[in-house]
């Protein structure tokens, strides 16, 4: 039994790493195509880039959901521990596995696009140390956005994401997508946030999505452009999503969850009443 539990635990961590690796492999590859080619295949279709990120999230859920539940995001893991009974002892290992997956995914993207990165930097007179092509891997503040403003943005964007995610995955929500369609709807939620607010600072929403590729790039020649990054930005896509995730999930639990009709009906049945009374 102990071996089975140990194998399952290892499988969960592998699953989380694979999930983030898939998301970064597809998402950052799309970012390379968006940023490094001229003309960009996404030049007049930014929504297509958002959809790729959303589909990457959906694919990760379909691949790994049966093993670990596909948190694929430290902000999700933390919120599930705070509000939905996920074991606190698993939080740090899950988060480390997610970051490891981000590093691996960035490595795959680099393997694929390194000639394009080199050509892009050469054509524009850029170097990795100066941040050339870094935006294809990790996030930066957008036009007129300061790191302080970006922190607030990431809190709000991730709060919206977790608010929607908790609704989509709520067992008592009769309007939630049925069966396996929830993965696609979660992906659409990611695309929705990117399509409406993504230009602010590339809608990280996920500390592992930013930190994993940032770590890879630090050791792959980008150096201080990755850490600490201009304006010491590196911590913003970590702290913002963690705080925002707790706020958004908490808002759902406070504002929506107590009033779901299916949940209220269950609590009012005689059997449920007897259980609450200890009968």
Residue 277 lies in a domain: no
- As a whole number, mean pLDDT of residues 191-215 equals 97
Q: Report pLDDT for 279.
A: 38
pLDDT in tens, 148-166: 999 999 999 999 999 999 9
pLDDT in tens, 186-199: 999 999 999 999 99
pLDDT at residue 40 tops 90: no
Count of structural domains within the chain: 1
Residue 182 lies in a domain: yes
- Sign of the C-alpha dihedral computed for residues 195, 199, 203 and 209 taken in this order: positive
Enter the tokens of residue 256. 């929506």
Could you tell me if 186 and 61 are in contact, meaning their C-beta atoms sit under 8 angstroms apart? yes
Give the CATH number, domain containing residue 253: 1.20.1080.10
Residue range(s) defining the domain that contains residue 115: 2-258
The CA-based angle 261-266-268, given to 5 degrees, is: 95
Q: What is the pTM of this model?
A: 0.93
Q: Convert the chain into a string of H (helix), E (strand) and C (coil).
A: CHHHHHHHHHHHHHHHHHHHHHHHHHHHHHHHHHHHCCCCCCCCCHHHHHHHHHHHHHHHHHHHHHHHCCCCCHHHHHHHHHHCCCCHHHHHHHHHHHHHHHHHHHHHHHHHHHHHHHHHHHHHCCCCCCCCCHHHCCCCCCCCCCHHHHHHHHHHHHHHHHHHHHHHCCCCCCCCCCHHHHHHHHHHHHHHHHHHHCCCCCCCCCHHHHHHHHHHHHHHHHHHHCCCCHHHHHHHHHHHHHHHHHHHHHHHHHHCHHHCHHHHHHHHCHHHHHHHCCC
Could you tell me if 260 and 170 are in contact, meaning their C-beta atoms sit under 8 angstroms apart? yes
Place of tokens 């590859």: 29
Residue 263 lies in a domain: no
pLDDT in tens, 104-131: 999 999 999 999 999 999 999 999 999 9
Residues in the chain: 279
For the chain, the C-alpha Rg in angstroms (whole number) is: 20
């Amino acid at each position: 039994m102990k071996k089975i539990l140990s194998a399952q635990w290892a499988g969960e961590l592998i699953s989380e790493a694979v999930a983030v690796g898939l998301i970064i492999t597809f998402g950052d590859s799309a970012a390379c195509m968006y940023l490094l080619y001229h003309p960009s295949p996404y030049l007049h279709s930014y929504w297509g880039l958002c959809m790729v990120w959303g589909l990457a999230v959906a694919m990760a859920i379909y691949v790994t959901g049966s093993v670990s539940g596909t948190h694929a995001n430290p902000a999700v893991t933390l919120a599930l521990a705070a509000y939905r009974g996920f074991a606190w002892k698993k939080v740090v290992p899950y988060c480390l596995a997610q970051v490891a997956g981000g590093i691996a995914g960035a490595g795959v993207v680099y393997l694929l696009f390194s000639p394009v990165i080199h050509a892009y930097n050469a054509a524009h007179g850029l170097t990795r140390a100066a941040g050339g092509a870094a935006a294809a891997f990790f996030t930066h503040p957008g036009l007129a956005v300061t790191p302080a403003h970006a922190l607030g943005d990431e809190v709000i964007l991730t709060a919206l994401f977790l608010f929607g995610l908790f609704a989509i995955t709520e067992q008592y929500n009769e309007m939630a997508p049925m069966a396996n369609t929830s993965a696609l709807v979660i992906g659409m939620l990611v695309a929705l946030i990117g399509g409406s607010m993504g230009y602010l600072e590339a809608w990280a929403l996920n500390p592992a999505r930013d930190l994993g590729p940032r770590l890879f790039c630090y050791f792959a020649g980008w150096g201080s452009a990755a850490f600490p990054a201009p304006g010491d930005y590196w911590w913003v896509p970590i702290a913002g999503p963690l705080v925002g995730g707790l706020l958004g999930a908490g808002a759902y639990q406070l504002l929506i969850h107590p009033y779901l009709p299916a949940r209220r009906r269950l609590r009012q049945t005689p059997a449920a009443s007897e259980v609450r009374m200890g009968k």
